[in-house]
Amino acid sequence: MVLLPALPAARAQDRPQPKLPTVDLRAGMHLIRAELAVSAEQQATGMMFRTTMGANEGMLFVNDDAGVRCFWMRNTLIPLTIAFLDDDGTIVNLADMQPQSDRSHCSARPVRYALEMNQGWFAKRGIQPGFRLRGGPFR
């Protein structure tokens, strides 16, 4: 029998991670305060086990290179909408995600960024694919 060391991300997935550093983004006149999930561990834990998220808060997943990004909601307790974003902040596609689901939601094409917000945040503001976010990495 071979014993492998536990991965840090696996250990972190039994509780919510502490609040991460934030960046301000703009969706037209709307300000978003987005936590930055940059490391593999931060991204693996994401919004898991959190019970609330502020009305204009979100989590921005930042990757070094573009790829088809897929997300699920295992151990995530609040409904979210995810926006998959091009390098310039343009929304490629949106997906509503249900709490505690293993269903994958993927980007329509390779992207480096994904932004999770409370479910319905984009729809309530009429924000759809093709809309461009500003701020943070999207200058």
Spatial distance between the Cα atoms of 94 and 82, rounded to a whole number of angstroms: 6
Q: What are 77-103's pLDDT values in tens digits?
A: 999 999 999 999 999 999 999 999 999
Distance CA(109)–CA(70), nearest Å, equals 11
| The model scores a pTM over 0.85 | yes
* pLDDT of res. 13: 62
| pLDDT attached to residue 134 | 98
Note the pLDDT of residue 125. Answer: 98
Q: Which domains does the chain have, with CATH numbers?
A: 15-130 (2.60.120.1140)
Confidence of residue 6 (pLDDT cuts 50, 70, 90): very low
pLDDT of residue 31 exceeding 60: yes
63 close to 113: Cβ distance less than 8 angstroms? yes
